[in-house]
Structure 1
Amino acid sequence: MEAPLVRLVEEAHRTIRAYIPERQQLVDLFFEERLVYPSFAWQEAIVNAVAHRDYRLQGLGIEVHLFDDRMEVWSPGELVEPATIDRLRNRERVHASRNPRIVRVLTAFGYMRELGEGIPRMFEVMEGQGLHPPEFRLEGGRFVVTLRNTPVYRPETMRWLRQFEGAGLSRNQTRLLAYAHEHGDQFTSRAYQKLVGVDVYTASKDIKDLIRKGIVRLTKPQGRVYELVTKAQMVALEKPPEFVSIEPILQEKGFVKNEDVRRVLGVSRIRACRLLQSLSEYGFLEKEGKGRGARYVPGRKMLHR
């Protein structure tokens, strides 16, 4: 396909669109016909190929291959520093162009947006529809983008995940919940580390955040297995006796502090600190501030009662 630059991208999109199949997806209780690939993802792959290919290589053009389970966009030329395969896979906002004039023209005509934003956005839309993230590789002096149309999770799992849309979860935490939902509603820290490729410290921080939000909990004290907390469990969960003792202060002031716990329970500062931390981890309280100025307000579990 050949055309002036300002028409080339639009014509390529229109031509390729005709070969991309649709499938039914359940959206708000109604089935809709949607492309098997998010439009932004495959269109961005083509725009990037036009903008960043090596035009010095003669006899090679941009190629789009459509298979039953994937789409591949082949672009002549390797990546330009500082862009690397690893940085793209890590969703870093990296911009490098061997064709700055072409990039300016495509930007002026609205085909490209903020520099470095396209690749992270491709990850977002692919995973937002429950698909595998885009894949990148270099082969034979060409840069290849692969988009797969096979869902990572069942449609039922994707619908189940919608209940957490307002919970402020990270991408990794969302993947963990989907994984747990499809594996008996349970998981371990080691499974999470392996699933998303994080270290034990990051896994611990993410899981504690889910506990604070009342979404997961340990199956037993000091255990290693976590379980998803259902809405019914969240409502029926018994308040610890320590929390019951300080709850009147919480209701009166809207918060409690370390000295309140010491006075009511007759414990040391260290013991009060540990109790407050434990109640925060289990979602009854949420910490605000640091040091001696720290105070604890009602947590997610209490807000949902």
Structure 2
Amino acid sequence: MIRLKVFISSVQKEMRSERIAIGAFLSTDDFLRECTVPRIFEEYPQPLFPNPKAYLDLLRQCQIYLLLVGSQYGIDAGDGLSATHEEYRLAQELKLPTLICIKGARRVKREQAVNAFLKEIETAKHTYSRFENEAQLLDIVGKRLREHIEITYSTVPLKAQIEQSALTHQSASEFERGMLDAMTYEDLDPELMLDLTASAEERDKERILADEIPRLLLSRGYLWKDVDTLRPTVAGALLLARKPGMALPQARVQMDAFPGTDRNAEALDSEIFDAPLSKAVERAVAFIRRNTPKPLIVKGLKRVKTETYPAEVLREVVVNAVAHREYSDRGIKISIEVFADRLVVSSPGLPPGGQSVGILSSGHARPRARNPLVVQGLSWLELMDERGSGIPRMARILEQAGHPAPLFRIDHDCLVVEIRPATDRGSESSSETAVKKERNGVEQSTRDVILEEVRSSGRITTRICVQRLGIPRTTAKRFLTDLVKEGLLIIEGSGSMTSYRPSGPMVGQ
């Protein structure tokens, strides 16, 4: 798959929000995120030996030049030209494919130097497009880049990718791209920033330099530069801030465990989490597990303790809540309530894209993301799998483990998901058993299913286990780790590029 670096050029302050929007768009569009890598120049932190033309060095590493022109020209960067004008001339010297977008109609009043710049562009016979708002800009950029990739590289988006892009564009909220001024780069978790950056860039963590991370996260819409201070956007704070509640009180998660079947009695356990979304998910799952009984089941000849709810289901329902909630409402937190007879998760906001709870319950809902930048970040952090697969997989695991189907309802503009314990606890019904399969009439264990896939395909990944084989992520990781320890599999790559292959000839090959 091609990976074209797109250099996004403009006067920094005037077109700041448009630059963030394009970086986020290229990172979340189903087709373009596979084919392009956004690049935005910001000199942060200041190097010990400053390079006044570092932005031109970055441009030389790119394959596409995208220019945004507004009403301001920018300061003189030398020889009477602004940095943006220098970038344009270098792009022409390098013969880079050039996409030019001009904000506003011809009648818009612009600085004299901008008019001279536009005349130079017209003299060079460059075609350009005009836009009035960010929605129009993203439509233009998406269409022109897809055309260029199709003509130049004979690569076209799948029909499903085009449809998904349209659905995301319809459902996406601009709130997650908002620029927070109450937090700085120092409020973010360095380890999470490295994990997300390495996965997004498809590079080993060891090969990413610390001073690269700010620029790479800024290019994808997770950071913005406020004069000389780097700050997170809303999506950046939710995913990467140690305590996102400092600026976004609605990001906190309220947890309560009650002794009975209603809220009349005092809660046995309560907690409010203020943590980056990935860690909030882990803490929420741990809270639920410690506040639910461990029923005894028959496993072989022994009676052993098991979980009330499959761990993969808990993770899925919490991840969906934090990924798809309406974050623009500062007054409401996600609520997770553990009762004696059910688990209730309430997420602020109606289902994205106006979908009904009936469609969600059926498992036929089209994937729509209210917060695509958050969703993509969670995917890069390996908390989300293929879009649209979560609810059907959750329902399947519950059914196979003997649980009633999950219930969906709307309550005071919140989407509520209700899960109840299994109706039959007399025998093994864990999520591990739920992924056993029958092939040629013979039941196979999870281990056998994984090994058969390796025999037939020559390799396997955690994603293949989840999406193709229907194995819960945590279960898949455990079995893959065990098979490596047994010497049957070898690890290749790292991060999102990790895969496993046979250590030698396998029986049956």
TM-score w.r.t. length of structure 2: 0.30
Q: TM-score, normalised by structure 1?
A: 0.49
